[in-house]
């Protein structure tokens, strides 16, 4: 059984090539995707609904798409990877495929001490890994692949990691620097026709977090240092750089610094919106993966769900999710709040 951890924000030509590669190299094995839901690792709402993104993956060859818990989908690499491999491990996935520009590089445990020392000195996780490899640059997906390997080792999962070379989109006349989800999102939000997208365009979100976040930061009487990704001075910096009518993205660009990266600020802001503090993230992220939420499936995926329902709790409807969360402490504890926030932000 093959697994992929993804966001598909949105589903594009590179994602299609990855699924085709899996189908070519492992033709008789089911393909299961653990996919971010309403909110993604960049620390923002997904540009398209999770249902639309999951359906695109099924259309192009995946057998089953299940949700990566929001608790993990909005975190930096190590927790994101942990949530992904826990989700796939619960379903019995034996091989995890990830795309990378540097498939020859592998993570080894002896580098961990160097990584931890670098992070204690103030380096980001990405910079710490680069230092441990004695390299000036590591592809972001390579760094994420290392996080997958570390999570698999720490969780003692019987799962093999299979790196796949991300090749250029040879069949499309698209510059290499535009062959990524960030460029496609920018074109969609600017009203341009995105080349390479492999899913129907739907009305994209008009969600801007700026006004809501400014209100919370300005008028809420909280210790904001208790939220994940907080740094001394971050709240004050955000308040100082806010202007009436400013968009969230422009606000983040104004507030960022060497100490406060855009990704870190976005994740901090999401945790403020969810009102989820550091100790809560730590508490729930140490719970075992206890269930799966399927988002889309084909005939093979449906058969697989039927076969494993006696071993794995399957939460297929919102009613089942609500009932389960009412009775259990779960890594899915944020799902109801995430869905409500996603819908609310569409109205702003």
State pLDDT tens for residues 82-115: 999 999 999 999 999 999 888 887 777 777 777 7
At residue 206, the pLDDT reads: 55
- Specify the residue for token string 């999570």: 151
Question: Bridge partners of 162?
Answer: 97
CA 10, chain centre distance (Å): 12
Q: Quick one: 222 and 81 in the same domain? A: no
Q: Quick one: 235 and 90 in the same domain? A: no
Classify residue 348: in a domain, yes or no: no
Q: Quick one: 297 and 260 in the same domain? A: no
Classify residue 176: in a domain, yes or no: yes
Q: Quick one: 159 and 297 in the same domain? A: yes
At residue 183, the pLDDT reads: 84
Q: Quick one: 297 and 228 in the same domain? A: no
Q: What is the distance between the alpha carbons of residues 316 and 41, in angstroms, rounded to a whole number?
A: 24
At residue 171, the pLDDT reads: 66
Q: Quick one: 42 and 172 in the same domain? A: yes
CATH number of the domain where residue 45 is located: 3.40.50.620
Label residues 102-133 b or e (16+ Cβ within 10 Å = b). bbebebeeebeeebeebeeeeeebbbbbbbbb
Q: pLDDT band at residue 133, thresholds of 50, 70 and 90?
A: confident
- Specify the residue for token string 């993104």: 53
**94: how many CB neighbours lie within 10 A of its CB?**
14
Residue 292 clears pLDDT 90, i.e. is over it: yes
What is the domain range of residue 259? 210-275
At residue 346, the pLDDT reads: 76
At residue 176, the pLDDT reads: 67
At residue 192, the pLDDT reads: 78
Structural domains in the chain (count): 2
**Nearest Cα to Cα of residue 196 among 172, 176, 177:** 172
Q: Quick one: 265 and 296 in the same domain? A: no
Classify residue 144: in a domain, yes or no: yes
Mean of pLDDT values over 63-85: 97
At residue 204, the pLDDT reads: 57
Q: Quick one: 15 and 84 in the same domain? A: yes
The CA angle 199-201-206, to the nearest 5 degrees, is 130
* More reliable by pLDDT, 106 or 265: 265
* More reliable by pLDDT, 170 or 305: 305
Q: Quick one: 91 and 151 in the same domain? A: yes
Number of residues assigned to the chain = 348
Residue 291 clears pLDDT 60, i.e. is over it: yes
Instruction: Give the domain-ending residue among 253, 275, 297.
Output: 275
Mean of pLDDT values over 31-36: 98
Classify residue 284: in a domain, yes or no: no
Both structure tokens of 232: 């001394």
At residue 293, the pLDDT reads: 97
Classify residue 164: in a domain, yes or no: yes
Q: Rg for the chain (alpha carbons), in Å?
A: 20
Classify residue 65: in a domain, yes or no: yes
Classify residue 240: in a domain, yes or no: yes
Q: Quick one: 166 and 47 in the same domain? A: yes
Mean pLDDT, the chain, rounded, equals 89
The CA angle 229-230-235, to the nearest 5 degrees, is 140
> Which H or E run contains 23?
helix 13-25
What DSSP letter does each residue of 101-170 carry, written as one string? S-TT----GGGHHHHHHHHHTT--HHHHHHHHTT-S---HHHHHHHHHHHHHHHHT---EEEEEE----T
Q: Quick one: 249 and 146 in the same domain? A: no
User: Quick check: 99 and 14 in contact, CB under 8 A?
Assistant: yes
3-state secondary structure at position 308: helix
Name which of 53-67, 127-141, 281-295 the model is least confident about.
127-141
Q: How far is CA 314 from CA 57, 69, 317, 337, in A?
A: 20, 14, 9, 20
3-state secondary structure at position 33: strand
Mean of pLDDT values over 279-297: 96
Mean of pLDDT values over 71-81: 95
Classify residue 58: in a domain, yes or no: yes
Residue range 171-228, pLDDT digits in tens: 666 776 667 888 888 888 777 777 777 777 665 555 678 888 999 999 988 899 999 9
At residue 207, the pLDDT reads: 61
* More reliable by pLDDT, 80 or 258: 80
Mean of pLDDT values over 229-234: 92
Mean of pLDDT values over 51-58: 95
Q: What is the distance between the alpha carbons of residues 63 and 58, in angstroms, rounded to a whole number?
A: 6
3-state secondary structure at position 195: coil
**23: how many CB neighbours lie within 10 A of its CB?**
16
Q: Quick one: 87 and 223 in the same domain? A: no
At residue 244, the pLDDT reads: 87
Most confident of 104-108, 124-128, 158-162: 158-162
């Amino acid at each position: 059984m093959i697994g992929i951890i993804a966001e598909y924000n949105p589903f594009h030509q590179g994602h299609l090539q990855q699924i085709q590669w899996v189908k070519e190299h492992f033709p008789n094995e089911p393909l299961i995707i653990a996919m971010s839901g309403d909110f993604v690792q960049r620390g923002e709402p997904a540009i398209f609904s999770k249902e639309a993104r999951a359906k695109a993956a099924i259309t192009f060859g995946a057998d089953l798409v299940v949700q990566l818990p929001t608790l993990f989908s909005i975190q930096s690499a190590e927790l994101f990877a942990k949530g992904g491999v826990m989700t796939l491990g619960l379903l019995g996935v034996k091989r995890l495929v990830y795309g990378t520009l540097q498939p020859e590089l592998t993570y080894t445990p002896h580098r961990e001490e160097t990584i931890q020392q670098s992070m204690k000195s103030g380096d980001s996780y990405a910079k710490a890994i680069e230092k441990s490899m004695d390299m000036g640059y590591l592809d972001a997906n390579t760094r994420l692949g290392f996080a997958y390997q570390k999570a698999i080792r720490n969780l003692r999962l019987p799962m093999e990691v299979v790196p796949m070379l991300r090749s250029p989109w040879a069949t499309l006349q698209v510059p290499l620097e535009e062959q990524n989800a960030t460029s496609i999102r920018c074109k969609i939000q600017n009203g341009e026709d995105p080349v390479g997208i492999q899913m129907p365009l739907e009305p994209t979100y008009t969600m801007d977090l700026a006004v809501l976040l400014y209100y919370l930061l300005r008028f809420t009487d909280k210790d904001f240092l208790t939220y994940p990704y907080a740094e001394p001075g971050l709240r004050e910096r955000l308040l100082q750089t806010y202007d009436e009518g400013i968009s969230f993205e422009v606000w983040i660009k104004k507030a960022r610094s060497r100490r406060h990266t855009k990704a870190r600020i976005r994740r901090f802001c999401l945790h403020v919106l969810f009102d989820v503090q550091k100790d809560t993230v730590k508490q729930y992220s140490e719970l075992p993966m206890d269930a799966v939420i399927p988002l889309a499936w084909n005939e093979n995926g449906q058969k697989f769900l039927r076969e494993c329902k006696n071993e794995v709790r399957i939460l297929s409807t919102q009613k089942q999710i609500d009932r389960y969360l009412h009775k259990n402490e779960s890594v899915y504890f944020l799902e109801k709040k995430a869905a409500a926030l996603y819908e609310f932000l569409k109205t702003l």
